[in-house]
Amino acid sequence: MPAITVDDILVLPRVPAPDVTQTERKVTSVTTAPRGFEGEGFPVRRAFAGVDLARLDPFIHMDQMGEVDYGPGEPKGTPWHPHRGFETVTYIIDGTFKHQDSNGGGGLITNGDTQWMTAGAGLLHIEAPPEELVVSGGLFHGFQLWVNLPSRLKMTPPRYQDIRAGQVALLSSADGGALLRVIAGSFGGYDGPGVTHTPIALVHATVSAGAQVRLPWPADFNALAYVLSGQGFVGPARRPVKMGQLAVFGPGDAITFEADGSGSRQDMDILLLGGQPIREPVAAYGPFVMNTRAELAQAFEDYQAGRLGSIPALPADPHPGHDVL
């Protein structure tokens, strides 16, 4: 898993463990992501399937893309498609994905990079493996998270944030048992590079086999943990979790987890997500996330009328800073 890593975790700033006044969050559910296919047929796990939207708020949807080891000619992407009313966050752990949108955003996302695309009022989007990867095949593993926007920001102008792996804030848990990569928002007093419209924390944690981790977590955020690889335990009752499972935490201001230290002694990688719930009605269909059915109908009408943008004539520049003829 070549997302950014470090040789010596002990040199990193440490997130203090919660003190005795802080309340450990109980785990309210553990669900297993069903497998499916997205776009032109790349394999995904639907991380949030079976969980009530109110528990996910401000998040809407998350796909684990892969992990898949493609043969030559097998890598797939999506055709051009519209979005309105929310943000897509794409984090690539292994391999490369090329994005382009009709607002001028896009580029290559690879090995620990994140693309944070605010669709807002609307745009067209394409996500595809680069041609050389289609030819060669290879490992592909990442995530796409959908973050909702409140009604006052649904029609905000589109915005694109290109977050390189090296910009991610690297932290250690209090005793060095976990490497914490803050991708966006604020966590443990440190800011990640991703700028969010509403308060959110997005952290990729690698937990050493056998390590127990206790972290502070804002009381006004929800708390979700998705296991990317390995297995372990979550919450005070030590609920078992493994790759492809999502744990939802209840109220409190601290979260706990532990990587299984028996057997193969594999590290456990988890994606920690939390944010302030938006608490508005959600009308979601396909690529649009709005507040009402009337707004959804308007989004389809605007898309069909070409008001969400048009497909650019030139392909995305895969090497920003160089001229494209």
Other C-beta atoms lying within 10 Å of the C-beta of residue 72? 11
Q: What is the rounded distance in angstroms from the CA atom of residue 106 to the CA atom of residue 325?
A: 17
Nearest residue (CB) to Mn ion, 31 versus 78: 78
Closest distance between Mn ion and the C-beta of residue 127, in Å? 6
Query: Which one of 120-128, 129-137, 155-163, 316-324 is the stretch in contact with Mn ion (CB under 5 A)?
Result: 120-128
Closest distance between Mn ion and the C-beta of residue 82, in Å? 9
For 167, the token pair is 């910009």
Residues belonging to the chain: 325
Nearest residue (CB) to Mn ion, 78 versus 198: 78
Count the site residues for Mn ion by CB under 5 A: 1
Closest distance between Mn ion and the C-beta of residue 287, in Å? 7
Q: What is the rounded distance in angstroms from the CA atom of residue 169 to the CA atom of residue 21?
A: 27
Closest distance between Mn ion and the C-beta of residue 306, in Å? 18
Residue 125 within binding range of Mn ion, rule CB under 5 A: yes
3-state SS of the chain: helix, strand, coil percent to 5? 10, 45, 45
Closest distance between Mn ion and the C-beta of residue 114, in Å? 14
> CA 63: distance to chain centroid?
8
Q: Which of residues 129-168 bind Mn ion (CB under 5 A)?
A: none
For 246, the token pair is 């999502």
Query: Which one of 64-72, 121-129, 202-210, 239-247 is the stretch in contact with Mn ion (CB under 5 A)?
Result: 121-129
Closest distance between Mn ion and the C-beta of residue 80, in Å? 9
Q: Which of residues 40-69 bind Mn ion (CB under 5 A)?
A: none
- Over its C-alpha atoms, the chain yields an Rg (Å, rounded) of 19
Query: Which one of 123-131, 154-162, 272-280, 299-307 is the stretch in contact with Mn ion (CB under 5 A)?
Result: 123-131
Query: Which one of 21-29, 117-125, 188-196, 301-309 is the stretch in contact with Mn ion (CB under 5 A)?
Result: 117-125
Q: What is the rounded distance in angstroms from the CA atom of residue 104 to the CA atom of residue 98?
A: 13
Closest distance between Mn ion and the C-beta of residue 124, in Å? 9
DSSP 14-48: EEPPP-TTSPBPPEEEEEEPPEEEETTTEEEEETT
Query: Which one of 124-132, 159-167, 168-176, 205-213 is the stretch in contact with Mn ion (CB under 5 A)?
Result: 124-132
Closest distance between Mn ion and the C-beta of residue 126, in Å? 8
Closest distance between Mn ion and the C-beta of residue 20, in Å? 45
Nearest residue (CB) to Mn ion, 123 versus 259: 123
Nearest residue (CB) to Mn ion, 117 versus 254: 117
Nearest residue (CB) to Mn ion, 45 versus 125: 125
Nearest residue (CB) to Mn ion, 84 versus 125: 125
Report yes or no: 186 and 203 within 8 Å, Cβ to Cβ.
no
Q: What is the rounded distance in angstroms from the CA atom of residue 41 to the CA atom of residue 77?
A: 7
Nearest residue (CB) to Mn ion, 125 versus 181: 125
Nearest residue (CB) to Mn ion, 46 versus 125: 125
The helix (H) or strand (E) run that includes residue 293 is: helix 293-304
Q: What are phi and psi of 156, to 5 degrees?
A: -65, 150
Cα separations in angstroms, 263 against 59, 209, 232, 259, 307: 35, 10, 12, 11, 56
Nearest residue (CB) to Mn ion, 87 versus 260: 87
Q: Give the residue among 129, 133, 138, 51 at the shortest CA–CA distance from 90.
A: 129
Q: Which of residues 228-247 bind Mn ion (CB under 5 A)?
A: none
Residues that bind Mn ion (CB under 5 A): 125
